[in-house]
Amino acid sequence: MNFSLTPNLEQYVRDRASSGDYNNASEVVREALRLMKRVEERRSIELERLRNAVREGDEALATGDFVEIVDDETLDRVFAEL
């Protein structure tokens, strides 16, 4: 597999490889891809959690299971119950 990097990224990979933390440029790129994959997986999990929270909120609204906050007193009471 071949790919191109911008000059700045290429220099960064070279610098990281020569820092002693990695044996070569391939190790730097593999590590970067592992980190990218981890970020994408975390983002996917967070998005699923957000979708679930929205779904739960929609269901609560549909069943009337919510508190309408119209003033600071109500808001304070809701937070006190948490």
DSSP string, 9-28: HHHHHHHHHHTTSSSSHHHH
pTM for the full predicted model: 0.69
Q: Which of 3, 65, 74, 69 is nearest to 32 (CA)?
A: 3
Length in residues, the chain = 82
pLDDT of residue 67: 83
Instruction: List the domain boundaries for the chain.
Output: 7-81
β strands within the chain, DSSP E? none
With cut-offs at 50, 70 and 90, classify the pLDDT of residue 82: confident
CA 39: distance to chain centroid? 6
pLDDT in tens, 17-70: 999 999 999 999 999 999 999 999 999 999 999 999 999 999 999 999 988 899
Name the residue type at position 18: S
